[in-house]
Amino acid sequence: MAESSFRTVAVLGATGSIGASALDVIARHPQRLRAGVLAAGSQVQALVALCARHRPDHAVIADADAYAALRDGLREAGLPTRAHAGAEALDALVAGDACDTVVAAIVGAAGLSSTLAAARAGKRLLLANKESLVLAGELLTAAAEAAGAEIVPIDSEHNAIFQCLRSRQALGDVRRIVLTASGGPFRGRSRASLEAVTPQQAVAHPKWSMGPKISVDSATLMNKGLELIEAHHLFGVGSDRLAVLVHPQSLVHSLVEFVDGSTLAQLGLPDMRTSLAVGLGWPERIDSGVGGLDLLAQGRLDFEAPDTDAFPCLRLAWQAMEAGGTAPAVLNAANEVTVSAFLQGQIGFLSIPALVEDALAAQPAEPAGSLDALLAADAQARRFTEQAIAQRRIRA
Ligand code: NAD
Ligand code: MG
């Protein structure tokens, strides 16, 4: 293999679900891939264990108070890995020589700064952190374009679309992009029956094994709403060329319909290592550890329309996308706060859409010309929603 195709990878969110899948694929290809930087939020022990296994040059913990524990843990394990702490240290490592490829898999808007740093530095950006696109999609894609950063979407739907288009930009010959959705653990249930569902039930996804936040987003269908906005930015298509189709088997990962009537789809088992292998190997295909698809054994592929009465988050996201400006940032921020409160048992499941709707109503869309304007809208929506939860101004 040519020397130039060797990639040194920074895995941001290394201790998470996507991080584990990325490291699994990287470890399969010692001749072409190496983890150079591993970063996590606050789990020092898990990060040290990953360093022992993958031998990166640098390890970064977001929580500054955990720096000494990380440094000592690495030293006690006899590892040469250098310890760092805080968001600025992470951004500098992402932008510098320590990596040429970045797996952006921090959960939530907390991932925006490092994702932007990777784009601005012209890195190959394997983008799982969909919240950064929802919050600042135009700025992020413009930064990537200006610096020549190649974005490969990792979200399975967008990775499927990327494979069908063989690029990131949809052209005039694309009539429609159809995102598939599993429907989550509560598919087919009425709105009333969702009143008392527990966090444990909500995170028990029938098809995908994922972190807690995106699992709740899948249960409310907000995940598909965030993905609509993500697709809008990644592929440069408006809402008139986007659609959502529920597909409970999660084998067809999305479809692209062209003007000649052709529809291309990407199929595969629901395992994120496929998307990550596409991003790590692109334009070549490399082993991901995922088996092939036996359609005869699977039996059937079903499709149905999404139920936006039971799952209003999809409708709210669609409205925020069409409103544009600061609206997607408000949607995302209110959603992050409510999902966290739901996971902590502070609010019920139906309060998630109710509170997101309240936040959107309280903060009408304004033009979002700068990162500061978007971050201000994000902060305001968080404050508003936190207060609403504290005051139990919950309608649902
Ligand atoms: P997860 O909760 O399993 O992992 C999150 C990771 O982010 C952890 O390593 C955590 O330590 C780190 N982290 C959290 N806050 C941080 C901070 N402030 N600074 C630095 N690191 C921080 O989440 P996940 O399921 O792996 O999802 C990660 C991202 O990928 C999300 O944006 C999610 O929407 C997206 N995504 C995930 C999947 C999936 O299958 N899990 C699929 C598509 C997209
Ligand atoms: Mg997805």
Looking at the structure, tell me whether residues 240 and 344 fall in a common domain.
no
35 has pLDDT over 70? yes
Looking at the structure, tell me whether residues 260 and 333 fall in a common domain.
no
Helix 222-235 vs helix 212-220: angle between axes, to the nearest 10 degrees?
A: 100
Write out the two tokens for 94. 């992402």
* 1 or 281, higher pLDDT: 281
Looking at the structure, tell me whether residues 9 and 138 fall in a common domain.
yes
Write out the two tokens for 304. 């149905």
Taking phi first (over 0 means left), then psi (-120 to 50 degrees means alpha), and beta for anything else, what does residue 306 get? beta
Residue to mutate, 21, 161, 210, ligand 1, most ligand atoms under 8 Å from C-beta: 210
Would you tell me how many other CB atoms lie within 10 Å of the CB of residue 237? 17
Residue 169: its pLDDT value, please?
A: 83
Looking at the structure, tell me whether residues 244 and 386 fall in a common domain.
no
Number of domains the chain is built from: 3
- Residue at token pair 């996804």: 205
Looking at the structure, tell me whether residues 258 and 356 fall in a common domain.
no
What is the band of 4 on the pLDDT scale with cuts at 50, 70, 90? low
- Domain of 341: which CATH number? 1.10.1740.10
pLDDT tens digits for range 82-119: 999 999 999 999 999 999 999 999 999 999 999 999 99
Looking at the structure, tell me whether residues 19 and 42 fall in a common domain.
yes
Looking at the structure, tell me whether residues 88 and 104 fall in a common domain.
yes
Say yes or no: CB of residue 110 within 6 Å of ligand 1. Answer: yes
Cα 155 to ligand 2 centroid, rounded to whole Å: 5
Residue whose CA is closest, atom 2 of ligand 1? 211
Residue whose CA is closest, atom 22 of ligand 1? 41
- Domain of 52: which CATH number? 3.40.50.720
Q: Determine the 3-state secondary structure of 171 from DSSP.
A: coil
Residue to mutate, 103, 115, 213, 214, ligand 1, most ligand atoms under 8 Å from C-beta: 214
Cα 13 to ligand 1 centroid, rounded to whole Å: 6
Q: Identify which of 224, 222, 257, 233 has the alpha carbon closest to the alpha carbon of residue 133.
A: 233
Write out the two tokens for 317. 């996201």
Cα 3 to ligand 1 centroid, rounded to whole Å: 31
Greatest alpha-carbon span in the chain = 62
Of 257, 284, 309, at which residue does a domain stop? Answer: 309
Say yes or no: CB of residue 105 within 6 Å of ligand 1. Answer: yes
Residue 392: its pLDDT value, please?
A: 66
pLDDT tens digits for range 116-165: 999 999 999 999 999 999 999 999 999 999 999 999 999 999 999 999 99
Say yes or no: CB of residue 153 within 6 Å of ligand 1. Answer: no
Is 127 contained in some domain? Answer: yes
Q: Which residues pair with 204 in a beta bridge?
A: none
Write out the two tokens for 45. 């022990």
Q: Is 119 exposed, middle or buried (0-12, 13-18, 19+ CB in 10 A)?
A: buried
Choose the weakest-confidence range: 4-13, 97-106, 353-362.
4-13
Residue 160 near residue 227 (C-beta atoms within 8 A): no
Say yes or no: CB of residue 314 within 6 Å of ligand 1. Answer: no
Looking at the structure, tell me whether residues 23 and 145 fall in a common domain.
yes
395 has pLDDT over 90? no
Taking phi first (over 0 means left), then psi (-120 to 50 degrees means alpha), and beta for anything else, what does residue 126 get? beta
Is 42 contained in some domain? Answer: yes
How far separated are the first and last CA of the chain, in Å rounded?
Answer: 59
Cα–Cα distance measured from residue 320 to residue 345, given in angstroms and rounded to the nearest whole number: 27
Is 315 contained in some domain? Answer: no
Residue 149 near residue 189 (C-beta atoms within 8 A): no
pLDDT tens digits for range 358-380: 999 999 999 998 999 999 999 99
Residue 126 near residue 156 (C-beta atoms within 8 A): no
Write out the two tokens for 146. 């200006």
Looking at the structure, tell me whether residues 161 and 305 fall in a common domain.
yes
Of 153, 175, 203, at which residue does a domain stop? Answer: 153
Cα–Cα distance measured from residue 118 to residue 99, given in angstroms and rounded to the nearest whole number: 10
Q: Which residues pair with 12 in a beta bridge?
A: 39, 104
Say yes or no: CB of residue 251 within 6 Å of ligand 1. Answer: no
Is 142 contained in some domain? Answer: yes
Looking at the structure, tell me whether residues 104 and 162 fall in a common domain.
no
Would you tell me how many other CB atoms lie within 10 Å of the CB of residue 311? 26
Looking at the structure, tell me whether residues 54 and 128 fall in a common domain.
yes
Q: Which domain holds residue 213?
A: 156-270+301-309
Cα 173 to ligand 1 centroid, rounded to whole Å: 34
Of 153, 170, 200, at which residue does a domain stop? Answer: 153
Cα 141 to ligand 2 centroid, rounded to whole Å: 19
Say yes or no: CB of residue 183 within 6 Å of ligand 1. Answer: no
Is 278 contained in some domain? Answer: no
Looking at the structure, tell me whether residues 162 and 95 fall in a common domain.
no
Cα 105 to ligand 1 centroid, rounded to whole Å: 5
Measured from the Cα of 19, ligand 1's closest atom is: 26
- Mean of pLDDT values over 168-175: 88
